Structure 1
Amino acid sequence: MASIPQGSSAQPSAISTGNNTIPLIIITILFFMWGLLTSMNDVLIPHLKSVYTLSYTQAMLVQFCFFGAYFVISLPAGALIKKLGYQNGAVAGLIIAASGCALFYPAATSGYALFLFALFVLASGITILQVAANPYVTVLGPARTASSRLTLTQAFNSLGTTIAPWLGGILILGGAVLTADQLALLPAAEVAAYKAKEAATVQGPYLALAAALLGLALFFAFAKLPKIQHDDEPSISGDMASNKESALSHTHLVLGAIGIFLYVGAEVAIGSLLINFFGEENIAGLKEADAAHLVSYYWGGAMIGRFIGFAVMRYVSPGKTLAFNCACAVLLVLTATFTDGKLAMWAIIAVGLFNSIMFPTIFSMALNNLGKFTGQGSGFLCMAIVGGAIVPLIQGTLADTFGLQISFLLPAACYLYIMYFGIKYAGMYKTAPSSEPAHL
């Protein structure tokens, strides 16, 4: 990205590419942390479903409250970051996320509703981190390698999502789990004591996460990061220069926001139901703790794919790469829906590999050449992450109505739209990504 004149509006300008590696590494820590926190929900959902005897729809309220925060908080987060700056905004986000984790302690003795509120607070902090960090990464180098650069940082986000199910499986799902039939044979007092004990297993892990987040907040408060400059006028380079009245006047931003909505919805819906899916007798019949370890493969595939995508998109159009990955994801989801046993199990796990580059690619393509509306556009895209609240809730209802396996047709439909977006904007960058120096 060429340097943009300095000014005072919401458009971040490209930062000199000479010494961006250390700032990128520091920002990547945030991506890792919110990946870990987000993926812990995949363990919480089956755990709370069992403790509170919930339907799939009720259990998906975990994701509804978590990702609903993106819709509610994204625009206020943008205003907060504009006032505090990107670095101080990240500190505020970390402190709020820590508060959400701390609320898990009283929630364990207060019921499902307080868990949902705690998740909303936690996600509010993560939303602030996302609104600050994603556009920050896109300006740490040239525009044509923004997708590649954001994909690299998202790879470490996937490292967090890979570790979380494995860790949560040990710390939260590691105890002896009684089936509904076994609980039915116990006296009411013993059932209540068992459920209280199971609910309390989240207290230690989430207090530890709260302490880690506060430690990161302290670190970021004193870290030396380059300041993002802003410009008053939109960029005039390229066919899609910012000469319109608002961010939503740009068709590629609107279509990209829909893509973010559907992608996050599909990825979260699949991840949320994997433990239950692996527990189905016609799939693998696994216990929750064993199934949780396999969820790490789903998120680990995304991590591997993002490292691959970081390299590939320096030479291949981001749009074409996105369309290819979506086509593969559709085929894998259909395989998981209409087959049984290990084939279905490994097909749905493999979707993670092709999810890998979708979010950062859609995000950076949607923000391309928005000029002074980049900050506003980033806020809209982060609001679109509310798809992680809506799509899983719909899939939960489909699972309750038609069966868990057939409900996976919903994510397949989401990937079809994203494939359309990739094909439509395959030629967005006039020259190959590799024409720019390979800066991080």
Structure 2
Amino acid sequence: MDNKTQKNYGTALYTIITVFFFWGFVAASNGIFIPFCKSHFHLTQFESQLIDFTFYGGYFIGSLILYFASQASKVDILNKIGYKNGIIAGLAISACGALLMVPAVHSGSFIFILVSFFVIAIGFSLQQTAAQPFVVALGAPESGTHRLNLAGGVNNFGALMGPVIVSIVLFGSANDAVAKVVEISSITTLYYALAGLFLLVAGFYAISTLPKVTSDEQLEASPKSNGPLVVVILGFLMVLAAQPLSRLTGIAEANFVYSSLVIIIGALLFVYLKKKENLNQWGAMQYPQLILGMIALFTYVGVEVTIQSNLGALLNLKEFGGFHESDIKPYIALYWGSMMVGRWTGAVSAFSLTKTTKSVLTVVVPFIAFGIILLVNQLTGTDVSNLYVYGICVTVLVIGFFIGQEKPAKTMAIFSTLGVIAMIVGLLNTGEVATLAFISGGLCCSIMWPSIFALSITGLGKYTSQGSSFLIMMILGGAILPPVQGKLADTQGIHHSYIIPAIGFCYLIFFAWKVSAVLKKQGINVENIAAEGGH
């Protein structure tokens, strides 16, 4: 590879990493946008969580469309059109969604806004499916993990900046005493800028000479797995149909919302428990570690999203400070920043370092990341002195990393247990202690994606690619658990509704134990599995 090509690939890598920034930026911004829409449109907590439902549902539907189209045509469609074209198409779709947000905001229609979020997410789904293998291909294969970790770090930084920037766009700076009540039209500038950036990056890719990234893997058919996926789709649609069905039947809306969760988990448990014949027809779903992992990824993403999506309503309670939606920015930023703290710390192990250097960085890196979170908030005029005590939670994270010893199952068990403890502390207390306990759930979630992925696809052989596709579909958890918690909040109170992430962390403890036993039965040594990459 000559210097000119290396430089071109370097430019391509830095440009593609901006896409990772967008994913984090928009997803984390929902933590500010949800309470804002709830107040502006006078929504119930359940209705406000439909923002997450449509956003993460877009990821799910986008993955499904690619999967079913490829299965029907017996051709890997994304592989055929090329990953470069896939990213360009994804950016163009997201740009359309961002531009759609402008008339949606001015129309005053919440449903129109939801449609716009859905279109943006469909584009993100295509980008994400194409971008990750592209990042690996832009350089030497042995350093592919390092590039993914760099991209993941940028994604986390986008998640940190999203709440801060969106809060400033909506409400002005923390020192601005005027902008407490705003017109929703102030958001249009942000979406014009986002649309412009999406198109700018797409244009760069269109004119750039980039390596052709393709896969030689044969598409594996799995007709038996289509049935459970259809049932999962029905469960997803149940949330959307909850209000109309309730009016039609007179049955409480909550029953339909909760049943969506039962249908989805039930479909996956059916596959797990069913005695399978003609194993090849089940494809990747013949492996119990994958089914357990699909439920785990669904649970983890749901927990990660629902903790912060309901945080605005929690902080609005008098016993939690009675915060206006314009004042919750530092807490939402701290939550997503906690994900950055954990992932940056986890990224240390991806580099070839001496044991001593690695140990030092495992202690230093999380506090540097924590310092960046405080600095970003401080620079936007927010008093962060009340957040210093969160350093205790960061210290616990560091101890957890040392005990976990870079073993996915062990690390998952430790951080899932810490997650349960954090949620219980939050449920039994109020005020600052409970708030920071709930926020520390972000630290516990930070290691989940690579750990679950590593444990779930181990031993899948030729079905590894298909198994990865099924796992990515389980981002669906971010669409289902927030509305479920929102409905529980409407009936039992927002504070008590945090039992949902507590139960989620309990399943993740079970997964770490059960998947270890399953893999051991298959003759696979769990201690030798390495967690790489991240979401």
Shift of the alpha carbon at 1:248? 1.1
Q: Distance in 1 between matches of 2:298 and 2:531?
A: 31
Tell me the equivalent position of 1:218. 203
TM-score, L = length of structure 2? 0.67
Q: Distance in 2 between matches of 1:368 and 1:50?
A: 46
Match of 2:213 among 227, 234, 237: 227
CA displacement 1:300-341 (0-9 Å, x = unmatched): 111011011123578521221122111111111111121011
Classify 1:355/1:382 alpha carbon distance in 2 versus 1 (closer, same or farther; 3 Å): same
TM-score, L = length of structure 1? 0.80
Q: Contact 1:77/1:127 (CA < 8 Å) preserved in 2?
A: no
Q: Contact 2:79/2:214 (CA < 8 Å) preserved in 1?
A: no
Bigger helix fraction: 2
Tell me the equivalent position of 1:408. 498
The one-letter amino acid of 2:348's match is A
Q: Distance in 2 between matches of 1:416 and 1:171?
A: 38
Shift of the alpha carbon at 1:114? 0.6
Q: Contact 2:83/2:131 (CA < 8 Å) preserved in 1?
A: yes
Match of 1:325 among 383, 408, 415: 415
Q: Distance in 1 between matches of 2:421 and 2:212?
A: 43
Shift of the alpha carbon at 1:134? 4.1
Shift of the alpha carbon at 1:408? 0.6
Structure 2 segments unaligned to the other structure (5+ residues): 1-7, 71-76, 173-177, 221-278, 352-404
Classify 1:81/1:355 alpha carbon distance in 2 versus 1 (closer, same or farther; 3 Å): same
Shift of the alpha carbon at 1:430? 5.7
Q: Contact 2:406/2:531 (CA < 8 Å) preserved in 1?
A: no
Tell me the equivalent position of 1:203. 188
Q: Distance in 1 between matches of 2:333 and 2:52?
A: 18
1:316 correspondence with 2:406: yes
The one-letter amino acid of 1:298's match is Y
Tell me the equivalent position of 2:426. 336
Quick check: 296-305 or 327-336, which moved more? 327-336
Match of 1:45 among 7, 28, 34: 34
Q: Distance in 1 between matches of 2:290 and 2:530?
A: 24
Shift of the alpha carbon at 1:361? 2.5
Shift of the alpha carbon at 1:47? 1.0
Query: Counterparts of 1:119-198 in structure 2 under 5 Å?
Result: 119-134=117-132, 141=141, 153-174=151-172, 176-178=179-181, 198=183
The answer to which structure, 1 or 2, has the higher relative contact order (CA under 8 A, 6+ apart) is 1
Please provide the CA RMSD for this pair. 3.0
Tell me the equivalent position of 1:270. 307
Tell me the equivalent position of 2:335. 298
Tell me the equivalent position of 1:85. 82
Match of 2:44 among 49, 52, 55: 55
Q: Contact 1:23/1:226 (CA < 8 Å) preserved in 2?
A: no
The one-letter amino acid of 2:88's match is V
Quick check: 367-376 or 87-96, which moved more? 367-376
CA displacement 1:232-261 (0-9 Å, x = unmatched): 499xxxxxxxx8441111221211111111
Tell me the equivalent position of 1:289. 326
Q: Distance in 1 between matches of 2:9 and 2:291?
A: 30
CA displacement 1:336-388 (0-9 Å, x = unmatched): 12101110111112221221121232234323343433332232222211111
The one-letter amino acid of 1:87's match is K
CA displacement 1:63-98 (0-9 Å, x = unmatched): 111111222220323544133122221111111111
1:365 correspondence with 2:455: yes
Q: Contact 2:339/2:446 (CA < 8 Å) preserved in 1?
A: yes
Shift of the alpha carbon at 1:159? 1.1
Shift of the alpha carbon at 1:210? 0.8
Classify 1:331/1:27 alpha carbon distance in 2 versus 1 (closer, same or farther; 3 Å): farther
Structure 1 segments unaligned to the other structure (5+ residues): 1-18, 179-196, 235-242
Shift of the alpha carbon at 1:199? 2.2
Q: Contact 1:70/1:123 (CA < 8 Å) preserved in 2?
A: yes
Match of 2:97 among 82, 97, 100: 100
Tell me the equivalent position of 1:118. 116
Q: Contact 2:100/2:116 (CA < 8 Å) preserved in 1?
A: yes
Q: Contact 1:151/1:360 (CA < 8 Å) preserved in 2?
A: no
CA displacement 1:386-412 (0-9 Å, x = unmatched): 111111000000100000011011011
The one-letter amino acid of 1:215's match is L
Q: Distance in 2 between matches of 1:345 and 1:430?
A: 35
Q: Contact 1:95/1:214 (CA < 8 Å) preserved in 2?
A: yes
Shift of the alpha carbon at 1:62? 0.8
Q: Distance in 1 between matches of 2:90 and 2:292?
A: 28
